[in-house]
Amino acid sequence: MKLDPLNNYRQFDPRIQYRIEFIDLALKKLFVQRIDHKFHDIFDDIETFCMFIGYPRSGHTLTGSLLDAHPDAIIAHELDVLKYIEAGFTKKQIFYLILKNSSTFTKAGRKWAKYSYQVPNQWNGRFRKLKVIGDKKGGKSTRRFSKNPKLVESLNSTIDDKKIKLIHVYRNPYDNITTISKKHFNNDLRRAIDFYFSYCKTIDNLKTQFKNIIDIKHESFIEDPKNCLKKICGFLELDAPTNYLDDSSSIVFASPRKRRFGVHWNSEHIKIVKNKIDEFDYLEGYSFHD
């Protein structure tokens, strides 16, 4: 049986994964039904629902945490909103899960992959006036869109398509593929290449279905975090106070990690990626040796 690289990178029995998700959804639904009546006007000022799309290991966590630190935004960490859309949760129930997720992740120190994404002096896990709410689950969301094309319609009808804005974070494909290969494919670069570019095709398709998508180059974000963050805030119609930009940029890495130089890439694999890069406009300019 041929496996679809978008939907089969997990290393355990999919039947176990299904049971885990079923139990999780059942418990969450019971929980949000109990608290539904407590929320009357907390979400009334929301103007934008923000989702991340993209690839595993591409820099979403940094961008999501910096946006969550904004006083008028809450961005969940790895909630996987589309899972709840598929399960029939209401907009208000999903928004509450986002709030809970952000608060819980913040109380735990916002540590992910041995790094803390807590922004000092800012609003992680809480808000002043909630204008933007969303979820940082780029890779999984892209995979769900690929597996279930009807999710676009379900998302639009649940949330309100006029309020939905997508953030597409990407980085040098060679670095991204290297990390995907190590984490998900036992260092098999060829499989990771197919996996990565299947995501690119899904992203291209999503760009034809959603009106509001912004492309964010990870390397540019690292090089000039204040201006890139200001650009994203403008896209989300948020202000960008100087103290917020200063505090957010203080936790950004000094330089992007070039993972590709930590493993052996043969000339054939380098050439395959180079040729595929040419198929996607936003990847223009990337190379193995840059």
Contact 76, 124 (CB under 8 A): no
- Residue 178: pLDDT over 60: yes
Pick the range with the lowest mean pLDDT from 7-11, 128-132, 205-209, 211-215. 7-11
Work out the pLDDT band at 181, boundaries 50, 70, 90: very high
Packing angle of the helix pair 189-207, 138-147 (nearest 10 deg): 70
Confidence at residue 8, expressed as pLDDT on a 0 to 100 scale: 45
Confidence at residue 13, expressed as pLDDT on a 0 to 100 scale: 61
Place of tokens 């936790």: 251
Contact 56, 183 (CB under 8 A): yes
Nearest Cα to 5, choosing from 106, 213, 146? 146
Contact 140, 134 (CB under 8 A): no
Nearest Cα to 89, choosing from 150, 148, 28, 139? 28
What average pLDDT does this structure show over 27-36? 67
Alpha carbon distance 93, 96 (integer Å): 5
pLDDT digits (tens, 9 = 90+) for 189-226: 999 999 999 999 999 999 999 999 999 999 999 999 99
> In whole numbers, what is the pLDDT of the chain averaged over residues?
89
> What are the φ and ψ backbone dihedral angles of 201, each rounded to 5 degrees?
-65, -40
Domains and CATH numbers, the chain: 15-175+202-260 (3.40.50)
Alpha carbon distance 50, 141 (integer Å): 12
Confidence at residue 36, expressed as pLDDT on a 0 to 100 scale: 57
Confidence at residue 103, expressed as pLDDT on a 0 to 100 scale: 95
Place of tokens 């910096």: 66
pLDDT digits (tens, 9 = 90+) for 48-107: 999 999 998 888 999 999 999 999 999 999 999 999 999 999 898 899 999 999 999 999
20-34 b/e (C-beta count within 10 Å ≥ 16 → b) = eeeeebeebeeebee
